[in-house]
Amino acid sequence: MTQQELEELISKTESDRIEKTISTRDYKKFAEAICAFANDMPRHNLPGYLLIGVKDDNTLNGSTITDQDLQYLASVRSDGQILPQPAMTVEKISLPGGDVAVVTVQPSVLPPVRYNGNVFIRVGPRRAIANEHEERILTERRSVLAKTFDNMPCTEAHLKDLSLIAFDAYRQQAIAPEIIEENHRETELQLASLRFYNIMTHCPTYAGLILFGNNSRYFLPGNYIQFLQFPGNSITDIPVDQAEISGDLVTMIKAVELRIKSINTTKLIHYSGFQEKLVPDYSEWAVRELLMNAMMHRDYASNSPIRFYVFSDRIEIHNPGGLFGESNTGNFPNVNAYRNPTIAEALKVLGFVNRFGYGVRRAKALLSENGNPEPVFHLAETGVFTVIIYKKTSS
């Protein structure tokens, strides 16, 4: 944004596309504003602007915007309180009267967007929580805009193919309690508001089947984890243990977590003279993080499963689907693009993912702390994404 463009924005009164504030650390206000702009209730199909350092009377308050302020604003996008993640940029522009931080928020293609379980919208110059009718408008809009596979309707499936008990448990975590208490909509609309049902085609989305499907493999043949454990370091060995882990997403995660625990033996390591301690072969949480990454980013349209292979000297995770979107071999893992944004959102809501865009880096740090070698990534632009985790060597 140029200085002239910013001055033109400042000269305009607050509206459904512009909000001004002088606070640099009001997280709640920032998050609500970003959420509202992302929902684009008036359907301008244009970005909204949060201007920090500007008073209501269109004058500047002489702010000095620091790098820490910009990082604080940028964190609103990725800390998982706004779901699905908004598309936004943060920049500082210095004017004669002071600095202005400009947060530019693009309209979401996956509305409704929620902050802390609430759907915020702009009603003229003010923010509000969407009522049932407004939320339904946003839900119907998403049915037209949705482009990712997990948000596409599975026209072969029906409501009976979903576990409504599992969905209700999820809803308790995803939506603010006061909204649930006031919500008297039919089940289909409740599912649709969270992107698990398409009300235009009257069928579940693939995300709904992945998360709550009674038999998701009927519709998604590759939606399972192939577990193989070999006695040596070659795939030609006869496996000592094998399983096809399938079911809804939570069931699969819990089952594979038990497998991770069972394969992770410990060794007695001597250090500092006569002292000794037990050290595991792998950082359990690092393996878990990398597996969560695979389940979040895999190509669910593929008939190939996630392959989780355990050898005597390493673990290999083979994930159908290469790098996606703006991610490439040059910027991985610092730049993330979500092939399955609704699945990513669900993993965050369920507590399996703590922060977006942080899993691979956290896994590398945990492996280093445990004494494991650096994991090796084979990054294919298409096809299969592979990570190799080597066992801790004795010392």
Residue 162's domain comprises 146-216
Q: Which residue has the tokens 């026209």?
A: 155
Supply the CATH number for residue 82's domain.
3.30.950.30
Supply the CATH number for residue 337's domain.
3.30.565.60
Q: What average pLDDT does this structure show over 25-36? A: 94
261, part of any domain: yes
In what helix (H) or strand (E) does residue 389 lie, and over which residues does it extend? strand 384-390
Task: Identify the pLDDT of residue 142.
Answer: 77
Residue 393: is its pLDDT beyond 80?
no
Q: What average pLDDT does this structure show over 87-97? A: 93
pLDDT digits (tens, 9 = 90+) for 224-242: 999 999 999 999 999 999 9
- Please tell me whether residues 243 and 377 are part of one structural domain: yes
Confidence of residue 338 (pLDDT cuts 50, 70, 90): confident
Please identify, among 162, 195, 216, the residue that sits at the C-terminal boundary of a domain: 216
Q: Which two tokens stand for residue 162?
A: 């979903």
Domains contained in the chain, number = 3
pLDDT digits (tens, 9 = 90+) for 193-220: 999 999 888 999 999 999 999 999 999 9
241, part of any domain: yes
What three-state secondary structure class fits 224?
coil
341, part of any domain: yes
Please identify, among 216, 239, 270, the residue that sits at the C-terminal boundary of a domain: 216
- Please tell me whether residues 11 and 121 are part of one structural domain: yes
36, part of any domain: yes
Q: Largest Cα–Cα distance of the chain, in whole Å?
A: 75
Determine the Cα–Cα distance for residues 377 and 220; give it in Å rounded to an integer: 26
Q: Which residue has the tokens 């998604």?
A: 220
Determine the Cα–Cα distance for residues 183 and 227; give it in Å rounded to an integer: 42
Residue 381: is its pLDDT beyond 60?
no
- Please tell me whether residues 212 and 316 are part of one structural domain: no
- Please tell me whether residues 270 and 372 are part of one structural domain: yes
- Please tell me whether residues 240 and 378 are part of one structural domain: yes
In what helix (H) or strand (E) does residue 210 lie, and over which residues does it extend? helix 206-212
Q: Which two tokens stand for residue 3?
A: 């200085």
- Please tell me whether residues 150 and 265 are part of one structural domain: no
Half-sphere exposure of 46 (CA within 13 A, CB side): 7
Give the angle subtended at the CA of 243 by the CAs of 240 and 248, to the nearest 5°.
Answer: 155
Determine the Cα–Cα distance for residues 143 and 23; give it in Å rounded to an integer: 36
112: preceding bond cis by omega (within 30 degrees): yes
What three-state secondary structure class fits 157?
coil
- Please tell me whether residues 285 and 199 are part of one structural domain: no
pLDDT digits (tens, 9 = 90+) for 275-301: 666 678 899 999 999 999 899 989 998
Confidence of residue 331 (pLDDT cuts 50, 70, 90): confident
Confidence of residue 267 (pLDDT cuts 50, 70, 90): low
84: preceding bond cis by omega (within 30 degrees): yes
- Please tell me whether residues 234 and 279 are part of one structural domain: yes
Q: What beta strand segments (E) does 81-137 contain?
A: 82-83, 88-95, 98-105, 114-115, 120-123, 126-129
Determine the Cα–Cα distance for residues 300 and 234; give it in Å rounded to an integer: 28
Please identify, among 97, 127, 157, the residue that sits at the C-terminal boundary of a domain: 127
Q: Which two tokens stand for residue 59?
A: 């004058």
137, part of any domain: no
Average confidence score pLDDT of the chain: 88
- Please tell me whether residues 39 and 77 are part of one structural domain: yes
Q: pTM for the whole thing?
A: 0.75
266, part of any domain: yes
314, part of any domain: yes
pLDDT digits (tens, 9 = 90+) for 315-329: 999 999 877 766 777
141, part of any domain: no
Q: What average pLDDT does this structure show over 31-59? A: 94
Task: Identify the pLDDT of residue 354.
Answer: 73
- Please tell me whether residues 283 and 336 are part of one structural domain: yes
Residue 103: is its pLDDT beyond 60?
yes
- Please tell me whether residues 304 and 370 are part of one structural domain: yes
- Please tell me whether residues 105 and 53 are part of one structural domain: yes
Confidence of residue 380 (pLDDT cuts 50, 70, 90): low
